[in-house]
Amino acid sequence: MAYSEKLVDHFENPRNVGALDKNDPGVGTGLVGAPACGDVMKLQIKVNAEGIIEDAKFKTFGCGSAIASSSLVTEWVKGKTVDEAATIKNTDIAKHLALPPVKIHCSVLAEDAIKAAIEDYRKKRV
Amino acid sequence: MSTATIKPPANDRANAPRRPVYLDYQATTPMDPRVLEAMMPYFTEKFGNPHSRNHEYGWEAEEGVEKARAQIAELIAADEREIVFTSGATESNNLAIAGVAHFYKDQRDHIVTLVTEHKCVLDTCRHLEQEGFKVTYLPVKPDGLVDLAELDRAITDRTVLVSIMAANNEIGVIQPLAQIGALCRAKGAFFHTDCAQAYGKIPLDVDAMKIDLMSISGHKIYGPKGIGALFVRRKPRVRLQALIHGGGQERGMRSGTLPTPLCVGLGRAAEIAKNEMATESARLLKLRERFLKTVNEKLPEVFLNGDLSNRLPGNLNLSFAYVEGEGLMMGIKDLCVSSGSACTSASLEPSYVLRALGVEEELAHTSLRIGFGRFTTEAEVDYAAERIVQAVSKLRSMSPLWEMAQEGIDIKSIQWAAH
Protein backbone atom coordinates (compact mmCIF):
# COMPACT_ATOMS: atom_id res chain seq x y z
CA MET A 1 0.00 0.00 0.00
CA ALA A 2 1.76 3.14 -1.14
CA TYR A 3 0.80 6.42 0.47
CA SER A 4 0.60 9.75 -1.32
CA GLU A 5 3.45 12.24 -1.08
CA LYS A 6 1.22 14.73 0.73
CA LEU A 7 0.28 12.14 3.34
CA VAL A 8 3.88 11.11 3.93
CA ASP A 9 4.91 14.76 4.17
CA HIS A 10 2.28 15.48 6.84
CA PHE A 11 3.30 12.33 8.74
CA GLU A 12 7.01 13.05 8.63
CA ASN A 13 6.75 16.82 9.10
CA PRO A 14 3.54 17.23 11.06
CA ARG A 15 2.28 20.82 11.31
CA ASN A 16 1.08 22.39 14.54
CA VAL A 17 1.86 19.59 16.97
CA GLY A 18 1.33 20.70 20.53
CA ALA A 19 -1.19 21.97 23.02
CA LEU A 20 -3.05 25.18 23.82
CA ASP A 21 -4.31 26.17 27.26
CA LYS A 22 -7.63 24.36 27.48
CA ASN A 23 -8.81 26.73 30.21
CA ASP A 24 -8.42 29.80 27.98
CA PRO A 25 -11.96 30.98 27.11
CA GLY A 26 -10.91 31.48 23.47
CA VAL A 27 -9.67 27.90 23.13
CA GLY A 28 -11.89 25.02 22.04
CA THR A 29 -10.68 21.45 22.60
CA GLY A 30 -11.95 18.37 20.80
CA LEU A 31 -10.95 14.87 21.87
CA VAL A 32 -12.32 12.10 19.67
CA GLY A 33 -11.72 8.43 18.99
CA ALA A 34 -10.83 5.68 21.47
CA PRO A 35 -7.55 3.99 22.44
CA ALA A 36 -9.16 0.57 22.06
CA CYS A 37 -9.98 1.37 18.44
CA GLY A 38 -6.42 2.43 17.70
CA ASP A 39 -6.91 6.14 17.16
CA VAL A 40 -7.42 9.19 19.34
CA MET A 41 -7.23 12.79 18.11
CA LYS A 42 -6.98 15.91 20.22
CA LEU A 43 -7.55 19.08 18.21
CA GLN A 44 -7.52 22.58 19.69
CA ILE A 45 -8.46 25.90 18.14
CA LYS A 46 -7.79 29.40 19.45
CA VAL A 47 -10.39 31.92 18.32
CA ASN A 48 -9.74 35.70 18.43
CA ALA A 49 -12.19 38.53 19.16
CA GLU A 50 -13.22 38.71 15.47
CA GLY A 51 -14.25 35.06 15.49
CA ILE A 52 -11.25 33.99 13.37
CA ILE A 53 -9.31 30.86 14.25
CA GLU A 54 -5.83 32.25 14.74
CA ASP A 55 -4.10 29.13 15.97
CA ALA A 56 -4.66 25.37 15.99
CA LYS A 57 -2.74 22.49 17.59
CA PHE A 58 -3.12 18.74 17.57
CA LYS A 59 -1.87 15.54 19.13
CA THR A 60 -2.83 12.17 17.66
CA PHE A 61 -2.46 8.53 18.64
CA GLY A 62 -2.98 6.53 15.50
CA CYS A 63 -1.74 5.34 12.17
CA GLY A 64 0.03 7.51 9.61
CA SER A 65 -3.25 8.45 7.93
CA ALA A 66 -4.75 9.58 11.24
CA ILE A 67 -1.71 11.72 12.05
CA ALA A 68 -1.62 13.22 8.55
CA SER A 69 -5.39 13.95 8.58
CA SER A 70 -5.17 15.83 11.87
CA SER A 71 -2.04 17.71 10.80
CA LEU A 72 -3.80 18.78 7.58
CA VAL A 73 -6.93 20.07 9.31
CA THR A 74 -4.89 22.25 11.69
CA GLU A 75 -3.55 23.97 8.56
CA TRP A 76 -6.97 24.26 6.99
CA VAL A 77 -8.80 25.75 9.97
CA LYS A 78 -6.26 28.50 10.60
CA GLY A 79 -7.49 31.88 9.29
CA LYS A 80 -11.04 30.61 8.87
CA THR A 81 -14.05 31.76 10.87
CA VAL A 82 -15.55 29.18 13.18
CA ASP A 83 -18.52 28.80 10.82
CA GLU A 84 -16.25 28.26 7.84
CA ALA A 85 -14.20 25.67 9.70
CA ALA A 86 -17.37 23.80 10.55
CA THR A 87 -17.97 23.17 6.84
CA ILE A 88 -14.76 21.14 6.32
CA LYS A 89 -15.79 17.72 5.06
CA ASN A 90 -14.08 14.42 5.61
CA THR A 91 -14.29 13.78 1.86
CA ASP A 92 -12.11 16.85 1.21
CA ILE A 93 -9.50 15.55 3.68
CA ALA A 94 -9.57 12.06 2.15
CA LYS A 95 -9.27 13.46 -1.36
CA HIS A 96 -6.41 15.84 -0.52
CA LEU A 97 -4.36 13.06 1.13
CA ALA A 98 -5.50 10.37 -1.35
CA LEU A 99 -6.47 8.12 1.56
CA PRO A 100 -6.98 4.45 0.64
CA PRO A 101 -10.51 3.13 1.30
CA VAL A 102 -9.57 1.38 4.57
CA LYS A 103 -8.32 4.72 5.92
CA ILE A 104 -11.41 6.83 5.23
CA HIS A 105 -12.36 6.57 8.91
CA CYS A 106 -9.25 8.65 9.73
CA SER A 107 -10.67 11.59 7.78
CA VAL A 108 -14.06 11.10 9.44
CA LEU A 109 -12.33 11.29 12.80
CA ALA A 110 -10.53 14.50 11.78
CA GLU A 111 -13.85 16.09 10.79
CA ASP A 112 -15.32 14.98 14.12
CA ALA A 113 -12.34 16.51 15.91
CA ILE A 114 -12.94 19.93 14.32
CA LYS A 115 -16.64 19.76 15.18
CA ALA A 116 -15.87 18.74 18.77
CA ALA A 117 -13.37 21.60 19.18
CA ILE A 118 -15.89 24.12 17.80
CA GLU A 119 -18.62 22.79 20.06
CA ASP A 120 -16.34 23.11 23.08
CA TYR A 121 -15.47 26.69 22.10
CA ARG A 122 -19.14 27.60 21.63
CA LYS A 123 -20.11 26.09 24.97
CA LYS A 124 -17.57 28.33 26.66
CA ARG A 125 -19.10 31.41 24.97
CA VAL A 126 -22.61 31.00 26.34
CA MET B 1 14.06 14.63 16.15
CA SER B 2 16.69 14.30 13.46
CA THR B 3 17.66 11.03 11.84
CA ALA B 4 21.11 12.34 11.00
CA THR B 5 22.78 10.92 14.10
CA ILE B 6 21.88 7.31 13.40
CA LYS B 7 23.76 5.70 10.56
CA PRO B 8 22.27 2.68 8.87
CA PRO B 9 24.48 -0.38 8.65
CA ALA B 10 26.73 -0.71 5.64
CA ASN B 11 25.48 -2.55 2.58
CA ASP B 12 27.08 -5.89 1.82
CA ARG B 13 27.39 -4.89 -1.81
CA ALA B 14 29.02 -1.63 -2.76
CA ASN B 15 26.84 0.71 -4.87
CA ALA B 16 23.78 -1.46 -4.38
CA PRO B 17 20.64 0.54 -3.69
CA ARG B 18 19.97 0.60 0.03
CA ARG B 19 17.18 -1.75 1.05
CA PRO B 20 15.28 -1.70 4.34
CA VAL B 21 16.56 -3.85 7.19
CA TYR B 22 14.60 -7.11 7.21
CA LEU B 23 13.37 -8.01 10.69
CA ASP B 24 10.34 -10.12 9.83
CA TYR B 25 11.81 -13.64 9.92
CA GLN B 26 8.59 -15.13 11.33
CA ALA B 27 6.78 -14.04 8.16
CA THR B 28 9.28 -15.64 5.83
CA THR B 29 13.02 -16.06 5.36
CA PRO B 30 15.33 -15.51 2.42
CA MET B 31 16.54 -18.75 0.90
CA ASP B 32 20.00 -19.79 1.99
CA PRO B 33 22.33 -19.71 -1.07
CA ARG B 34 23.44 -23.24 -0.15
CA VAL B 35 19.82 -24.38 -0.54
CA LEU B 36 19.54 -22.77 -3.95
CA GLU B 37 22.79 -24.43 -5.01
CA ALA B 38 21.41 -27.85 -4.09
CA MET B 39 18.18 -27.18 -5.99
CA MET B 40 19.61 -25.85 -9.25
CA PRO B 41 20.45 -29.11 -11.07
CA TYR B 42 16.91 -30.38 -10.50
CA PHE B 43 15.39 -27.58 -12.57
CA THR B 44 17.31 -28.23 -15.76
CA GLU B 45 19.41 -31.43 -15.93
CA LYS B 46 17.82 -33.75 -13.37
CA PHE B 47 14.31 -32.73 -14.37
CA GLY B 48 12.76 -36.18 -14.40
CA ASN B 49 9.50 -37.15 -12.76
CA PRO B 50 10.50 -38.81 -9.50
CA HIS B 51 7.64 -41.26 -9.99
CA SER B 52 8.97 -42.46 -13.38
CA ARG B 53 10.23 -45.91 -12.45
CA ASN B 54 11.66 -47.01 -15.77
CA HIS B 55 14.44 -44.65 -16.73
CA GLU B 56 17.43 -42.79 -15.43
CA TYR B 57 15.77 -39.35 -15.36
CA GLY B 58 13.13 -40.69 -13.01
CA TRP B 59 15.67 -42.51 -10.87
CA GLU B 60 17.92 -39.50 -10.28
CA ALA B 61 14.95 -37.29 -9.42
CA GLU B 62 13.67 -39.97 -7.04
CA GLU B 63 17.10 -40.18 -5.45
CA GLY B 64 17.03 -36.42 -4.82
CA VAL B 65 13.57 -36.59 -3.28
CA GLU B 66 14.37 -39.56 -1.07
CA LYS B 67 17.59 -38.01 0.20
CA ALA B 68 15.59 -34.90 1.10
CA ARG B 69 12.97 -36.99 2.87
CA ALA B 70 15.68 -38.54 5.02
CA GLN B 71 17.20 -35.13 5.80
CA ILE B 72 13.80 -33.79 6.86
CA ALA B 73 13.15 -36.84 9.06
CA GLU B 74 16.56 -36.75 10.69
CA LEU B 75 16.00 -33.30 12.19
CA ILE B 76 13.10 -34.64 14.29
CA ALA B 77 14.40 -38.19 14.85
CA ALA B 78 11.72 -39.66 12.59
CA ASP B 79 11.82 -42.37 9.93
CA GLU B 80 11.90 -41.11 6.33
CA ARG B 81 8.81 -43.18 5.55
CA GLU B 82 6.93 -40.95 7.98
CA ILE B 83 7.44 -37.79 5.91
CA VAL B 84 4.74 -36.71 3.44
CA PHE B 85 5.51 -33.78 1.15
CA THR B 86 2.87 -31.05 0.88
CA SER B 87 2.66 -27.54 -0.57
CA GLY B 88 3.34 -25.93 2.80
CA ALA B 89 2.35 -25.83 6.45
CA THR B 90 -1.20 -24.68 5.67
CA GLU B 91 -1.82 -27.81 3.64
CA SER B 92 -0.06 -29.95 6.26
CA ASN B 93 -2.30 -28.55 9.00
CA ASN B 94 -5.41 -29.10 6.88
CA LEU B 95 -4.36 -32.65 6.03
CA ALA B 96 -3.46 -33.56 9.60
CA ILE B 97 -6.59 -32.20 11.24
CA ALA B 98 -9.24 -32.90 8.63
CA GLY B 99 -7.52 -36.11 7.56
CA VAL B 100 -7.49 -37.64 11.04
CA ALA B 101 -10.96 -36.32 11.92
CA HIS B 102 -12.50 -37.83 8.80
CA PHE B 103 -10.72 -41.16 9.03
CA TYR B 104 -11.70 -41.83 12.66
CA LYS B 105 -15.10 -40.12 12.64
CA ASP B 106 -17.01 -43.28 13.51
CA GLN B 107 -14.97 -43.75 16.69
CA ARG B 108 -14.27 -40.26 17.99
CA ASP B 109 -15.55 -36.81 17.04
CA HIS B 110 -13.86 -34.27 19.33
CA ILE B 111 -10.81 -32.05 18.71
CA VAL B 112 -8.91 -29.89 21.20
CA THR B 113 -6.89 -26.88 20.11
CA LEU B 114 -5.79 -23.44 21.37
CA VAL B 115 -7.29 -20.03 20.68
CA THR B 116 -3.81 -18.78 19.72
CA GLU B 117 -3.29 -21.30 16.91
CA HIS B 118 -2.59 -20.16 13.38
CA LYS B 119 -5.66 -19.27 11.31
CA CYS B 120 -5.23 -22.34 9.11
CA VAL B 121 -5.69 -24.59 12.15
CA LEU B 122 -8.59 -22.58 13.55
CA ASP B 123 -10.31 -22.30 10.19
CA THR B 124 -9.98 -26.04 9.53
CA CYS B 125 -11.54 -26.69 12.94
CA ARG B 126 -14.41 -24.30 12.15
CA HIS B 127 -15.14 -26.24 8.97
CA LEU B 128 -15.12 -29.52 10.87
CA GLU B 129 -17.58 -28.05 13.37
CA GLN B 130 -19.94 -27.37 10.48
CA GLU B 131 -19.66 -31.05 9.58
CA GLY B 132 -20.71 -32.00 13.09
CA PHE B 133 -17.38 -32.43 14.89
CA LYS B 134 -16.99 -30.87 18.33
CA VAL B 135 -14.03 -28.59 18.94
CA THR B 136 -12.71 -27.21 22.23
CA TYR B 137 -10.71 -24.00 21.85
CA LEU B 138 -8.62 -23.74 25.01
CA PRO B 139 -7.54 -20.33 26.31
CA VAL B 140 -3.88 -19.71 27.17
CA LYS B 141 -2.26 -18.29 30.29
CA PRO B 142 -1.09 -14.63 30.26
CA ASP B 143 2.38 -15.85 29.22
CA GLY B 144 0.88 -17.50 26.14
CA LEU B 145 1.38 -21.09 27.34
CA VAL B 146 -1.27 -23.78 27.60
CA ASP B 147 -2.57 -24.69 31.05
CA LEU B 148 -1.77 -28.43 31.26
CA ALA B 149 -4.38 -29.11 33.92
CA GLU B 150 -7.00 -27.49 31.73
CA LEU B 151 -5.81 -29.48 28.72
CA ASP B 152 -6.03 -32.66 30.77
CA ARG B 153 -9.65 -31.87 31.64
CA ALA B 154 -10.50 -31.05 28.04
CA ILE B 155 -9.37 -34.38 26.58
CA THR B 156 -12.12 -37.00 26.82
CA ASP B 157 -12.63 -40.49 25.45
CA ARG B 158 -14.32 -38.79 22.48
CA THR B 159 -11.18 -36.79 21.65
CA VAL B 160 -9.53 -37.97 18.45
CA LEU B 161 -6.94 -35.20 18.08
CA VAL B 162 -5.19 -32.51 20.07
CA SER B 163 -3.65 -29.84 17.83
CA ILE B 164 -1.26 -27.49 19.63
CA MET B 165 1.41 -25.48 17.90
CA ALA B 166 5.04 -25.79 18.98
CA ALA B 167 5.95 -22.10 18.67
CA ASN B 168 3.55 -19.24 18.09
CA ASN B 169 3.97 -17.16 14.94
CA GLU B 170 3.24 -13.85 16.66
CA ILE B 171 4.72 -14.14 20.11
CA GLY B 172 7.19 -17.01 19.61
CA VAL B 173 6.26 -18.84 22.83
CA ILE B 174 7.12 -22.52 22.89
CA GLN B 175 4.51 -24.91 24.29
CA PRO B 176 5.52 -27.81 26.59
CA LEU B 177 5.38 -30.42 23.82
CA ALA B 178 6.65 -33.41 25.81
CA GLN B 179 4.04 -32.92 28.54
CA ILE B 180 1.27 -32.41 25.98
CA GLY B 181 2.40 -35.53 24.11
CA ALA B 182 2.38 -37.61 27.29
CA LEU B 183 -1.15 -36.44 28.17
CA CYS B 184 -2.44 -37.27 24.69
CA ARG B 185 -0.81 -40.70 24.58
CA ALA B 186 -2.21 -41.57 28.01
CA LYS B 187 -5.71 -40.69 26.87
CA GLY B 188 -5.52 -42.27 23.43
CA ALA B 189 -5.80 -39.02 21.47
CA PHE B 190 -3.45 -38.24 18.60
CA PHE B 191 -1.13 -35.27 19.09
CA HIS B 192 -0.66 -32.97 16.11
CA THR B 193 1.69 -30.00 16.37
CA ASP B 194 2.06 -27.15 13.90
CA CYS B 195 5.83 -26.71 13.78
CA ALA B 196 5.96 -24.12 10.99
CA GLN B 197 7.82 -21.74 13.30
CA ALA B 198 9.66 -24.29 15.46
CA TYR B 199 11.02 -26.87 13.01
CA GLY B 200 14.72 -26.23 12.49
CA LYS B 201 14.78 -23.59 15.23
CA ILE B 202 14.51 -25.66 18.42
CA PRO B 203 15.31 -29.33 19.17
CA LEU B 204 12.35 -31.58 18.34
CA ASP B 205 12.11 -35.34 18.85
CA VAL B 206 8.92 -37.05 17.76
CA ASP B 207 9.45 -40.06 20.03
CA ALA B 208 10.57 -38.24 23.17
CA MET B 209 7.71 -35.76 22.73
CA LYS B 210 5.17 -38.41 21.66
CA ILE B 211 4.20 -36.40 18.59
CA ASP B 212 1.92 -38.22 16.12
CA LEU B 213 1.70 -35.58 13.41
CA MET B 214 3.90 -32.58 12.74
CA SER B 215 3.47 -29.81 10.18
CA ILE B 216 6.63 -28.42 8.59
CA SER B 217 7.20 -25.40 6.37
CA GLY B 218 10.02 -24.80 3.89
CA HIS B 219 10.16 -21.04 3.66
CA LYS B 220 10.45 -20.43 7.41
CA ILE B 221 13.78 -22.28 7.50
CA TYR B 222 15.62 -20.59 4.63
CA GLY B 223 14.19 -23.10 2.17
CA PRO B 224 11.92 -22.56 -0.83
CA LYS B 225 8.34 -21.32 -0.72
CA GLY B 226 5.59 -23.68 -1.87
CA ILE B 227 6.85 -26.77 -0.08
CA GLY B 228 6.17 -28.25 3.31
CA ALA B 229 5.84 -31.64 4.89
CA LEU B 230 3.72 -33.56 7.31
CA PHE B 231 5.21 -36.11 9.67
CA VAL B 232 2.73 -38.98 10.09
CA ARG B 233 3.66 -41.57 12.73
CA ARG B 234 3.90 -45.22 11.64
CA LYS B 235 4.16 -46.88 15.05
CA PRO B 236 1.59 -46.67 16.51
CA ARG B 237 0.12 -45.97 13.12
CA VAL B 238 -1.83 -42.82 12.38
CA ARG B 239 -4.21 -42.98 9.43
CA LEU B 240 -5.50 -40.12 7.35
CA GLN B 241 -8.15 -39.53 4.77
CA ALA B 242 -6.46 -37.71 1.87
CA LEU B 243 -7.53 -34.22 0.82
CA ILE B 244 -6.02 -34.45 -2.65
CA HIS B 245 -6.81 -37.49 -4.74
CA GLY B 246 -5.02 -38.78 -7.79
CA GLY B 247 -2.10 -41.03 -8.59
CA GLY B 248 -1.64 -42.21 -5.03
CA GLN B 249 1.76 -40.65 -4.46
CA GLU B 250 3.05 -40.18 -0.90
CA ARG B 251 1.52 -43.52 0.13
CA GLY B 252 -1.90 -42.32 -0.93
CA MET B 253 -1.93 -39.48 1.54
CA ARG B 254 -1.11 -36.77 -0.96
CA SER B 255 -1.40 -37.33 -4.68
CA GLY B 256 0.40 -35.23 -7.26
CA THR B 257 3.85 -35.26 -8.86
CA LEU B 258 6.42 -34.14 -6.33
CA PRO B 259 8.19 -30.85 -7.13
CA THR B 260 11.70 -32.33 -7.03
CA PRO B 261 13.69 -29.06 -6.74
CA LEU B 262 11.50 -27.86 -3.88
CA CYS B 263 11.75 -31.19 -2.05
CA VAL B 264 15.54 -31.12 -2.45
CA GLY B 265 15.59 -27.54 -1.18
CA LEU B 266 13.56 -28.38 1.91
CA GLY B 267 15.87 -31.31 2.61
CA ARG B 268 19.01 -29.23 2.31
CA ALA B 269 17.46 -26.47 4.47
CA ALA B 270 16.68 -29.07 7.15
CA GLU B 271 20.23 -30.42 7.01
CA ILE B 272 21.74 -26.95 7.45
CA ALA B 273 19.31 -26.17 10.28
CA LYS B 274 20.33 -29.36 12.05
CA ASN B 275 24.05 -28.63 11.73
CA GLU B 276 23.82 -24.99 12.74
CA MET B 277 20.93 -24.88 15.21
CA ALA B 278 23.06 -24.64 18.35
CA THR B 279 25.36 -21.86 17.15
CA GLU B 280 22.57 -19.99 15.42
CA SER B 281 20.32 -20.05 18.49
CA ALA B 282 23.11 -18.74 20.69
CA ARG B 283 23.87 -15.95 18.24
CA LEU B 284 20.22 -14.94 17.91
CA LEU B 285 19.76 -14.92 21.68
CA LYS B 286 22.70 -12.54 22.01
CA LEU B 287 21.30 -10.25 19.32
CA ARG B 288 17.91 -10.24 21.02
CA GLU B 289 19.41 -9.39 24.41
CA ARG B 290 21.41 -6.60 22.84
CA PHE B 291 18.31 -5.16 21.19
CA LEU B 292 16.19 -5.39 24.34
CA LYS B 293 18.90 -3.78 26.45
CA THR B 294 19.05 -0.70 24.23
CA VAL B 295 15.29 -0.34 24.00
CA ASN B 296 14.70 -0.85 27.72
CA GLU B 297 17.46 1.56 28.69
CA LYS B 298 16.11 4.32 26.49
CA LEU B 299 12.35 3.89 26.56
CA PRO B 300 9.96 3.59 29.50
CA GLU B 301 6.70 1.62 29.27
CA VAL B 302 7.70 -1.02 26.77
CA PHE B 303 6.04 -4.37 27.46
CA LEU B 304 7.03 -7.82 26.24
CA ASN B 305 4.12 -9.96 25.06
CA GLY B 306 4.51 -13.67 25.83
CA ASP B 307 6.96 -15.57 27.97
CA LEU B 308 10.64 -14.67 27.48
CA SER B 309 12.35 -17.91 28.51
CA ASN B 310 10.12 -20.35 26.55
CA ARG B 311 10.47 -18.50 23.30
CA LEU B 312 12.00 -18.79 19.84
CA PRO B 313 15.44 -17.17 20.05
CA GLY B 314 14.75 -14.87 17.08
CA ASN B 315 11.36 -13.51 18.19
CA LEU B 316 10.26 -10.43 20.09
CA ASN B 317 6.80 -8.98 20.42
CA LEU B 318 6.76 -5.62 22.18
CA SER B 319 4.05 -3.12 23.05
CA PHE B 320 5.22 0.49 22.94
CA ALA B 321 2.50 2.07 25.08
CA TYR B 322 0.82 5.23 23.76
CA VAL B 323 2.13 4.79 20.19
CA GLU B 324 -0.08 3.08 17.62
CA GLY B 325 1.68 0.22 15.87
CA GLU B 326 0.94 1.06 12.27
CA GLY B 327 1.91 4.70 12.78
CA LEU B 328 5.11 3.45 14.37
CA MET B 329 5.81 1.21 11.38
CA MET B 330 5.43 4.20 9.09
CA GLY B 331 7.92 6.05 11.28
CA ILE B 332 10.47 3.25 10.87
CA LYS B 333 9.87 2.51 7.24
CA ASP B 334 13.46 1.46 6.66
CA LEU B 335 12.84 -1.45 9.05
CA CYS B 336 10.63 -4.35 8.02
CA VAL B 337 8.69 -5.61 11.01
CA SER B 338 5.06 -6.51 11.54
CA SER B 339 2.39 -5.02 13.77
CA GLY B 340 -0.24 -6.50 16.08
CA SER B 341 -2.34 -3.48 15.42
CA ALA B 342 -5.05 -4.38 13.04
CA CYS B 343 -5.13 -1.07 11.36
CA THR B 344 -3.28 -2.91 8.63
CA SER B 345 -6.31 -5.09 8.02
CA ALA B 346 -9.84 -4.01 7.28
CA SER B 347 -11.21 -5.55 10.47
CA LEU B 348 -9.92 -2.89 12.89
CA GLU B 349 -9.54 -5.64 15.47
CA PRO B 350 -6.13 -5.96 17.08
CA SER B 351 -4.29 -9.30 17.12
CA TYR B 352 -6.41 -12.18 18.44
CA VAL B 353 -3.27 -13.77 19.84
CA LEU B 354 -2.42 -10.75 21.99
CA ARG B 355 -6.06 -10.45 23.08
CA ALA B 356 -5.95 -14.11 24.13
CA LEU B 357 -3.05 -13.32 26.48
CA GLY B 358 -5.26 -10.70 28.11
CA VAL B 359 -3.34 -7.81 26.57
CA GLU B 360 -5.77 -4.91 26.55
CA GLU B 361 -6.91 -3.61 23.20
CA GLU B 362 -5.21 -0.24 23.54
CA LEU B 363 -1.90 -1.96 24.27
CA ALA B 364 -2.41 -4.56 21.53
CA HIS B 365 -2.64 -1.68 19.07
CA THR B 366 0.85 -0.54 20.06
CA SER B 367 2.66 -3.82 19.43
CA LEU B 368 5.38 -4.78 16.98
CA ARG B 369 6.70 -8.23 16.11
CA ILE B 370 10.42 -8.09 15.53
CA GLY B 371 12.08 -11.18 14.08
CA PHE B 372 15.81 -11.78 13.85
CA GLY B 373 17.30 -14.53 11.72
CA ARG B 374 20.27 -16.16 10.05
CA PHE B 375 21.34 -13.11 8.08
CA THR B 376 20.66 -10.44 10.72
CA THR B 377 23.85 -8.62 11.71
CA GLU B 378 24.76 -6.91 14.96
CA ALA B 379 24.97 -3.59 13.08
CA GLU B 380 21.40 -4.07 11.85
CA VAL B 381 20.17 -4.83 15.36
CA ASP B 382 21.86 -1.71 16.77
CA TYR B 383 20.45 0.42 13.99
CA ALA B 384 16.95 -1.01 14.44
CA ALA B 385 17.00 -0.41 18.20
CA GLU B 386 18.07 3.22 17.77
CA ARG B 387 15.54 3.88 15.03
CA ILE B 388 12.72 2.44 17.10
CA VAL B 389 13.74 4.45 20.17
CA GLN B 390 13.82 7.59 18.04
CA ALA B 391 10.46 6.96 16.35
CA VAL B 392 8.68 6.00 19.57
CA SER B 393 10.01 9.12 21.31
CA LYS B 394 8.84 11.35 18.47
CA LEU B 395 5.40 9.75 18.24
CA ARG B 396 4.92 9.82 22.00
CA SER B 397 5.60 13.56 21.95
CA MET B 398 2.68 13.77 19.48
CA SER B 399 0.41 11.36 21.37
CA PRO B 400 -2.52 12.73 23.39
CA LEU B 401 -2.49 9.52 25.44
CA TRP B 402 1.16 9.99 26.39
CA GLU B 403 0.36 13.59 27.34
CA MET B 404 -2.48 12.44 29.59
CA ALA B 405 -0.30 9.77 31.17
CA GLN B 406 2.37 12.38 31.93
CA GLU B 407 -0.30 14.59 33.52
CA GLY B 408 -1.39 11.68 35.66
CA ILE B 409 -4.78 11.26 33.94
CA ASP B 410 -5.99 7.68 33.94
CA ILE B 411 -6.91 6.89 30.34
CA LYS B 412 -9.43 4.33 31.55
CA SER B 413 -11.32 7.01 33.50
CA ILE B 414 -12.29 8.78 30.27
CA GLN B 415 -15.55 8.02 28.49
CA TRP B 416 -14.29 7.17 25.00
CA ALA B 417 -16.73 7.07 22.15
CA ALA B 418 -16.06 3.86 20.24
CA HIS B 419 -16.11 4.41 16.52
Containing domain of residue B40, as a range? 33-273
Q: Please indicate, yes or no, whether residues B233 and B370 belong to a single structural domain of this protein.
A: no
Angle among Cα B32, B33, B38 to the nearest 5 degrees reads 100
Q: Is B177 in contact with B209 (CB distance < 8 Å)?
A: yes
pLDDT at B271 over 90: yes
Tell me, yes or no, whether B333 lies in a domain: yes
pLDDT at B344 over 60: no
Other CB atoms within a 10 A radius of the CB of residue B243 amount to 15
Strand arrangement of the beta sheet that strand B213-217 belongs to: B83-86, B228-232, B213-217, B190-194, B159-163, B110-114, B134-138
Q: Is B222 in contact with B80 (CB distance < 8 Å)?
A: no
Q: Please indicate, yes or no, whether residues B287 and B243 belong to a single structural domain of this protein.
A: no
Q: Is A106 a catalytic residue?
A: yes
Containing domain of residue A55, as a range? 5-125
Q: Please indicate, yes or no, whether residues B257 and B303 belong to a single structural domain of this protein.
A: no
pLDDT at B6: 73
Binned at pLDDT 50, 70 and 90, residue B412 comes out as confident
SS3 B296: helix
Tell me, yes or no, whether B66 lies in a domain: yes
pLDDT at B347: 57
Instruction: Compute the nearest-CA separation of A64 from chain B (Å).
Output: 5
Give the span between the Cα atoms of B389 and B318, in whole angstroms: 12
Q: Please indicate, yes or no, whether residues B254 and B386 belong to a single structural domain of this protein.
A: no
Percentage of residues in chain B having pLDDT higher than 70: 94
CATH of the domain at B392: 3.90.1150.10
> Who contacts B169 (Cβ-Cβ below 8 Å, separation ≥6)?
B26, B118, B196, B197
Q: B86: which strand partners?
A: B228
Interhelix angle A104-125/A64-77, rounded to 10 degrees, is 40
Q: Does A45 touch chain B (CB under 8 A)?
A: no
Q: B371: which strand partners?
A: B24, B315
Percentage of residues in chain B having pLDDT higher than 90: 89
Tell me, yes or no, whether B263 lies in a domain: yes
Q: Does A109 or B343 have the greater pLDDT score?
A: A109
Mean pLDDT, rounded, of chain B: 94
State how many domains chain A has: 1
Last residue of a domain, one of B253, B273, B293: B273
As a whole number, mean pLDDT of residues B157-176 equals: 97
Give B-chain residues touching A14 at CB under 8 angstroms: 398
pLDDT at B402: 95
Q: Please indicate, yes or no, whether residues B204 and B322 belong to a single structural domain of this protein.
A: no
Question: Between A and B, how many CB-CB pairs are < 8 A?
Answer: 90
pLDDT at B350: 83
Say which of A18, A24, A37, A75 is annotated catalytic: A37
Binned at pLDDT 50, 70 and 90, residue B2 comes out as very low
Last residue of a domain, one of B273, B301, B325: B273
pLDDT at B218 over 80: yes
Give the span between the Cα atoms of A101 and B346, in whole angstroms: 9
Residue of B nearest to A109 (CA): B419
| Residue of A14, A42, A63 with shortest CB distance to B326 | A63
As a whole number, mean pLDDT of residues A74-100 equals: 96
CATH of the domain at B123: 3.40.640.10
Give the span between the Cα atoms of B194 and B169, in whole angstroms: 10
Find the largest Cα–Cα distance for chain B: 80
> Who contacts B197 (Cβ-Cβ below 8 Å, separation ≥6)?
B26, B165, B166, B167, B168, B169, B172, B220, B312
Tell me, yes or no, whether B302 lies in a domain: yes
CATH of the domain at A44: 3.90.1010.10
CB contact under 8 A, A64 and B361: no
Q: Is B262 in contact with B219 (CB distance < 8 Å)?
A: no
Q: Does A28 touch chain B (CB under 8 A)?
A: no
pLDDT at B305: 97
Tell me, yes or no, whether B12 lies in a domain: no
Say which of A106, A114, A116, A117 is annotated catalytic: A106
Q: Is A39 in contact with A106 (CB distance < 8 Å)?
A: yes
Q: Please indicate, yes or no, whether residues B266 and B299 belong to a single structural domain of this protein.
A: no
Angle among Cα B3, B4, B8 to the nearest 5 degrees reads 80
Binned at pLDDT 50, 70 and 90, residue A37 comes out as confident
ipTM for the predicted complex comes to 0.94
Q: Does A37 or B289 have the greater pLDDT score?
A: B289
pLDDT at A87 over 90: yes
Give A-chain residues touching B404 at CB under 8 angstroms: none
Q: Which residues of A25-61 are buried (b: 16+ CB within 10 A; e: fewer)?
A: ebbbbbbbbbbbbbbbbbbbbbbeeeeebebbbbbbb
Binned at pLDDT 50, 70 and 90, residue B362 comes out as confident
As a whole number, mean pLDDT of residues B365-374 equals: 95
Q: Is B217 in contact with B262 (CB distance < 8 Å)?
A: no
Q: Please indicate, yes or no, whether residues B85 and B215 belong to a single structural domain of this protein.
A: yes
pLDDT at A77: 97
pTM reported for the whole predicted model: 0.92
State how many domains chain B has: 2
Residue of A nearest to B418 (CA): A34
CB contact under 8 A, A62 and B403: no
CB contact under 8 A, B365 and A64: no
pLDDT at A44: 98
As a whole number, mean pLDDT of residues B73-98 equals: 98
Tell me, yes or no, whether B3 lies in a domain: no
User: In this predicted model, what pLDDT tens digit does every residue of B28-47 receive, in sequence order?
Assistant: 999 999 999 999 999 999 99
Tell me, yes or no, whether B378 lies in a domain: yes
As a whole number, mean pLDDT of residues B62-72 equals: 98
Q: Does A2 touch chain B (CB under 8 A)?
A: no
Q: Please indicate, yes or no, whether residues B60 and B192 belong to a single structural domain of this protein.
A: yes
